[in-house]
Amino acid sequence: MKIRNKILLTAAMLALPLMKSTAAVDPNFYIFLCFGQSNMEGNARPEAQDLASPGPRFLLMPAVDFPDKGRKMGEWCEASAPLCRPNTGLTPADWFGRTMVASTPDNIKIGVIHVAIGGIDIKGFLPDSIQSYIKKAPSWMKGMLQAYDNNPYERLVTLAKKAQKDGVIKGILMHQGETNTGDPKWAGMVQQVYDNLCGDLQLKPEEVNLYVGNIVQANGQGVCIGCKKQIDELPQTIHTCQVISSDDCSNGPDRLHFDAAGYRELGCRYAEAVARHLGFEPKRPHIEMPKKIEVPADAVTVENAVPGNEFPKIDKERRAYFRIEAPQARKVVVDICNKKYDMQPDGKGGLIAVTDPLPVGFHYYFMEVNGVRFIDPASETYFGCNREAGGLEVPEGPEGDYYRPKLGVPAGSVRSIYYHSPNSKFGEWRHALVYTPAEYDIAKNAKKRYPVLYLQHGMGEGETSWALQGKMQHIMDNAIASGEAVPMIVVMESGDIKQPFGGGNNRQGMSDYGASFYPVLLNDLIPYIDANFRTKSDRENRAMAGLSWGGHQTFDVVLNNLDKFAWMGTFSGAIFGLDVKTAYNGVFADADAFNKKIHYFYMNWGSDDFIKGQPLVDSLRELGIKVDASESEGTGHEFLTWRRGLHEFIPHLFKK
């Protein structure tokens, strides 16, 4: 009896490890193997709702280490994007797991093992083909292959065997085929991979379906649309295969990969098919869907669009719509009017954004990818912000007719000139634009001479700014044609302020920034204009004005050279800290003398401008200086303010 008891005790002790191992397998822990190429790897940038873990019921056994997330290969952790490898994107497996959690009882856990490589051929998952495939793999793929020790199939199986000690494999999810589009052997090779997995993991095909997602369709314009048919027909080769539809799943601009919303939708569809197969009623978790941007019928293409482009557009509420095709970009932002707008897929292979209602007038704008600014290729370019930029004109009503071209109004010319300047520190040949009134080239006026306005732009802009952004020539044409202004020549130069502000002494009369232009203007440009155009070359017929820093330059030049100028104006002039009693060697101290020399002095600014001229105007008037001033209602430091200023200024010039 004692011997028998000892035998039973020994047998029981020998059975303990087996019992412990068997007890560790949780039948309510459902495990799914996920493999494929880039759309399973995940190409879209995860958004906030994708990054938070849905809780301990959705787990990932990483196939590689994730140092930044503290994940170790082969150790279960809570699942959240990215699932595949560090720096990959959102994948269908993300919202597959979340939907499975929502569709199953609370006692069921969902686990995924995820092995995918962008662009990989199905041969890359066949053990007898992988070594020869690696030798021919493109260089950009080699690092991804090395992450799986150059055998992605073996990595998947090794981890799956480990996972089988914890739970039960319930399905295999695949998204692959784009690389094998049109390959008649593809279905047979997929069957080989599936059969190998079932054999190596001792799975019963009738209990472990193969779920295959279809490709990006992009309304029939998908790059690999030819692959759809071969995927749809895969169940004819593998009877336990179920195809997951990608109908109406949105895509990125490359028409090859889904966008984030598309991955979420496809992932939910995988889960719905699996849940039904397992006997559960599918239930989707809450998904924050991006609001689809609809371009209203009343939206019109803006005047700044490069001809042939439909966008940018403006609607009657002054909202702007931008669209771009950027196949490799995961995130593009439009930056306009000090606000950034994320662009989102439009379902047609492009990205689109809509702004809040914008102020009327001209606005610079940029697009950004990862913080790098670029010019919208659909926009004409304008020099501003110290560089070329896109531009958008939000139209005014009839009140803006003064800066629009009109039928029946004779049009002047804007000429591009190059002149030699020994006094320039930025090269001896310089560029300027010169406006001549419509009558200038009429034969009967061949001997007529004209007064000249030297018109300067602001910091970070260029000699083209007044003509393009400011619509100077239309303002001049309309004012001259109506008799408001006398015919005059207008000269526009860069003023050496295209580059960013570099610091230094910039008190009025002692400027560093832009001061290199002063000897050029006085000693080179004015003599060139007087020698090559029919000008009235005395001070009585010479004016200077400028916007922003061009206003600063106007003060510096005119007030130090009253023998050369008799008219001056500023538009949001950058005039700071001026002691009117002592500035410019006390030029304002004798008001009577000043008022006799300057026949008209004008200043304007916007009601929302960060530069306000009223305090300076008040202090000048207290000294008896005659200065005319106006505030542009509803505008800031922008070209609409300065257009209005120029329009109010020029009727007073060269009249006594």
Which residues are annotated as catalytic?
38, 254, 257
DSSP per residue, 67-125: GGGTB-TTS-EE--S--SSTT--B-HHHHHHHHHHHHS-TT-EEEEEEEE-TT--GGGG
Residue with the two structure tokens 């336990």: 240
> For residue 31, which phi and psi values (nearest 5 degrees)?
-110, 140
Q: Which of 653, 542, 564, 545 is nearest to 603 (CA)?
A: 545
Evaluate whether 455 touches 490 at the Cβ level (below 8 Å).
Answer: yes
Q: In the block, which residue shows the tokens 């053990």? A: 127
Determine the residue type at 636: G
User: What's the N-to-C CA distance of the chain in angstroms?
Assistant: 136
Coil, strand, or helix at residue 500? coil
Amino acid identity for residue 369 in this structure:
V
Q: What residue type is 589 in one-letter code?
A: A
d(CA 547, CA 565): 17
Helix (H, G, I), strand (E, B) or coil at 406: coil
Amino acid identity of residue 373, one-letter, is R
The two structure tokens encoding residue 459 = 């910091």
Task: Give, as one character, the DSSP assignment of residue 507.
Answer: S
Q: Cα angle at 310 between 306 and 316, to 5 degrees?
A: 110
Please answer whether residues 391 and 381 qualify as being in contact, where contact means their C-beta atoms are separated by less than 8 angstroms: yes
Q: Please tell me the distance from the alpha carbon of residue 547 to that of residue 626, in angstroms, as a whole number.
A: 20
Cβ atoms within 10 Å of 292's Cβ, excluding its own: 12
Q: Which helix (H) or strand (E) holds 351?
A: strand 351-354
Evaluated on CA atoms 53, 57, 62, 65, the torsion sign reads positive
Give the DSSP H/E element, type plus range, for residue 372. strand 372-374
Judged by DSSP in three states, 640 sits in helix
User: Identity (one letter) of the amino acid at 580?
Assistant: V
**Cα–Cα distance between 431 and 557 in angstroms, integer?**
20
3-state secondary structure of 134: helix
The CA distance from 135 to 146, in Å, is: 12
